[in-house]
Amino acid sequence: MSQAIPTMPRDNQYLIISEPYYQESGDEMSLYQAAYDSRIPMMLKGPTGCGKTRFIEHMAWRLGKPLITISCHEDMTASDLIGRYLLNADGTYWQDGPLTTAARIGAICYLDEVVEARQDTTVAIHSLTDYRRTLSLEKKGELLQAHEDFQLVISYNPGYQTLMKDLKTSTKQRFAALEFEYPDEETEISIVCHETGIDEGTAGRLIQIAKHARNLVGHGLNEGISTRLLVYTAQLIKKGIPPVAACHMALVRPLSDDADIRETLEATVQGCF
């Protein structure tokens, strides 16, 4: 007789076991801790690749709470968040969506780049972000009271938003907010070295390239070189790719298709290496 393999409890499968490395650049940890202790919904604002997702992963690990991350997109419906009825050989059954699962088990629910979702979808989170802390499962006929440990966290990049893609004021005012920027030079060097094992001198040169590119934001670039791209570049260099080639591959080409901007960035790379 075969023995059943035990399955991990549903809440445990969302726990982060190993510490995600995060280098604090201000007092964001203590501020977030206070918000979590009060179960205040949080909004993380900042440019792409500046560490918002890593921050929330680190805080979930620090708090010992499950984390359910949802990458938002324009085709996401309320049912994708809340749940729907499905069909199998035995008939129909209800399948909780990730937001509902988080509310049931007391997880931190992280909606990444929330403005990419349709506005009629984000309305579904409103009742979870005020004193009610409830979620209406209309198709199931259930009003779910969120677990006492549940917290909703959203993130977005204000620099990319337009009138057609922005959070409603009525939604923004349901959240406290932390603003993230790219780390200062010393901190960013430390992050790149820790994540890749690259030497400080090479990391410093990469950060100089990034600083130059960030100065071009609004002058041909929509957004500067992210810390994430610096890590990618350092990883390539660590694998033996020549620094100039690694920079062209992971810094210049992903950032812009404009010939003049690329020429300017390539000249910066040549100057640093």
Chain centroid to CA 192: 18
Residue type, 59: M
pTM of structure: 0.88
Q: How does residue 163 score in pLDDT terms, banded at 50, 70 and 90?
A: very low
Q: What is the pLDDT of residue 9?
A: 53
120 contacts: CB under 8 Å, gap ≥ 6: 78
Could you tell me if 41 and 153 are in contact, meaning their C-beta atoms sit under 8 angstroms apart? yes
Q: Average pLDDT, stretch 113-131?
A: 87
Strands 83-88 and 91-96: antiparallel
pLDDT tens figures, 241-264: 999 999 999 999 999 898 999 999
Tokens matching residue 137 = 């499962």
Q: Is the pLDDT of residue 220 over 90?
A: no
